[in-house]
Structure 1
Amino acid sequence: MSQRNACNSLRLVKLQQQDLVFYLSIYTDPELMQFIGKIQSVEKLQRSFQLTLDYMSRQPPEMLLFVLRSLKGEAVGVGILNFRHQTERKAEIGVIICQQHQRQGYSYQAKRLLIAAAFEDFKATAVTAICQIDNAFANRANQKLGFRIEKTETDSKDKQTKNYWILEKR
Structure 2
Amino acid sequence: MSNPLTSQHLTLTKLAPPDWELIRSIYTNPVLMQHIGSPMSEEAIRSNFAKELAPWTLDSTHWLTWIIRETDTGNDVGLISICTRDRDVLTAEVGFIILDTHKGKGYATEALAFVLDHAAHAYGFRKFTAVCSEEHAASRKVLEKAGMKLDKIVPEHTEIAGTMVNDCFYSLEK
Same fold judged by TM-score > 0.5?
yes
The structural deviation recorded for 1:4 is 8.7
For residues 72-96 of structure 1, give each alpha carbon's deviation from its aligned partner in whole angstroms, at most 9, with x where no partner exists.
2111101001112223210111110
For residues 52-89 of structure 1, give each alpha carbon's deviation from its aligned partner in whole angstroms, at most 9, with x where no partner exists.
212xx044462310100101211110100111222321
Structure 2 residue aligned with 1:168: 173
Q: Is the 8 A contact 1:2 1:121 kept in 2?
A: no
What letter matches 2:17 in structure 1? Q
User: Matches of 1:141 and 1:4 in 2, distance apart?
Assistant: 23
TM-score (normalizing by structure 2): 0.88
Secondary structure, counterpart of 1:36 in structure 2: coil
What letter matches 2:168 in structure 1? N
For residues 23-55 of structure 1, give each alpha carbon's deviation from its aligned partner in whole angstroms, at most 9, with x where no partner exists.
00111110000111121211221111101212x
Q: Is the 8 A contact 2:158 2:167 kept in 1?
A: no
Structure 2 residue aligned with 1:147: 148
What letter matches 1:8 in structure 2? Q
User: Matches of 2:156 and 2:115 in 1, distance apart?
Assistant: 24
Instruction: Give matches, 1:99-114, under 5 Å.
Output: 99-114=100-115
Secondary structure, counterpart of 1:81 in structure 2: strand
More helix, by proportion = 1
* Root mean square deviation of aligned Cα: 1.9
Task: Extract unaligned runs of 5+ from structure 2.
Answer: none
TM-score (normalizing by structure 1): 0.90
Percent of aligned pairs with the same residue? Answer: 28
**Shift in CA distance, 38/87, structure 1 to aligned 2, threshold 3 Å:** farther
Instruction: Give matches, 1:12-161, under 5 Å.
Output: 12-54=12-54, 57-60=55-58, 62=60, 63-71=63-71, 72-154=73-155, 156-158=157-159, 159-161=164-166
For residues 118-161 of structure 1, give each alpha carbon's deviation from its aligned partner in whole angstroms, at most 9, with x where no partner exists.
21111111111111111111111111222111111035441211
